[in-house]
Amino acid sequence: MPFPIHRPRRLRSSEPIRRLVRETQLTPSSFVLPLFVCPGSGVRREIKSMPGQYQMSIDQIVAECAEVRQLGIGGVILFGIPSRKDEEASENYDPNGIVQRAIRAIKAEAPDLVVITDVCNCEYTSHGHCGKIVNGDVDNDATLEWLAQAALTHAQAGADIVAPSDMMDGRVAAIRRRLDENGFSKVPILSYAAKYASVFYGPFREAAESAPQFGDRRTYQMDPANVLEAMREIELDIEEGADMIMIKPAMPYLDVIRAARERFDTPIAAYQVSGEFSMIHAAARNGWLDLERAMMESLTSIRRAGASIILTYFAKPAARLLGA
């Protein structure tokens, strides 16, 4: 007869006791802040659907990174908005492309801040797809060359970690080989291993100007209904040489994070994507949710599910709150 001997409420009776028995902790050092870098100087253009997030020119990004470092945030991930897009995603693997220049500028000012790069073509193609179009579909094997070369130019510019997000088959192996052949065997790959064809990327596509001009991404990103397939994607990426794996989006896929945590031993990252961020802001603006509490509860849930690294647009306010 457990009750009245057992009363779980005893351990919830005060904040000091709750803190003592808390199972999940958030730390700024495991947050990664996504940043959008655009041409020009002195540019800080707010993204309408993502309050407090900006497209920033390189000088502004460098200043932002100084603040990020001061807050103890684990790192940044860079997305580029090129000055011109073409069929071949040329600026993605241009050694003087927007991201490559941004990496060099950040590294000159903040050498110890972890700089991750998103390796994908969709921001650089005129059609907005993540690879080379052949007969109306993204051609897997032709796209690998662009990705390998983009990752190499990022590493040459000083990126600490490269993170392919395109969902082409074999990209991790192709990138690993290209990096190793060129003396970058020390640069880790964080693979977006289980990336779903999600509606929650909507605001990002405004931010990165990367919406596909025809069709959608369902022939390469995963079906939201599948979890076994996610395990297979992760397994293949680890076999190909991924050092860390990512699940994306985060909150609608907590079961996938948990399943991956139980099965694989690499660090697991989860990306709380633009739509997750914007939904919380929208509800808060309507007075329907408390912004700070919704932010912390959402991050805690992702951590509790098993993610060790969280990519989040909330990195700065959450770090401030944790530091206070």
Residue 290's region, left for phi above 0, alpha for psi from -120 to 50, else beta, is beta
Min CB(305)–ligand PBG separation in Å: 18
Scan residues 253-312 and list those touching ligand PBG (CB under 6 A): 273-274
Stretch that binds ligand PBG, among 7-15, 134-142, 201-209, 290-298 (CB under 6 A): 201-209
Whether 248 is catalytic: yes
Whether 195 is catalytic: yes
Considering CB under 6 A, how many residues would be counted as binding ligand PBG? 10
Q: Which two tokens stand for residue 235?
A: 């397994």
Beta partners for residue 268, in sequence order: 245
Min CB(121)–ligand PBG separation in Å: 8
Binding status of residue 205 toward ligand PBG by CB under 6 A: yes
Measured between alpha carbons, how far is 165 from 248 in angstroms, rounded to an integer? 10
CB 113 within 8 A of CB 159: no
Q: Which is nearer to ligand PBG, 137 or 181 (CB)?
A: 137
Residues 6+ apart with CB under 8 A from 141: 170
Binding status of residue 130 toward ligand PBG by CB under 6 A: yes
Is omega for the bond preceding 249 within 30 degrees of 0, making it cis? yes
Binding status of residue 122 toward ligand PBG by CB under 6 A: yes
- Side-chain-facing half-sphere of 90: CA atoms under 13 Å: 5
Measured between alpha carbons, how far is 5 from 74 in angstroms, rounded to an integer? 44
Place of tokens 């059609």: 127
Q: Which is nearer to ligand PBG, 153 or 274 (CB)?
A: 274
Stretch that binds ligand PBG, among 118-126, 139-147, 230-238, 239-247 (CB under 6 A): 118-126
Contact residues for ligand PBG, defined by CB under 6 A: 118, 120, 122, 130, 165, 201, 204-205, 273-274
Active site residues: 195, 248
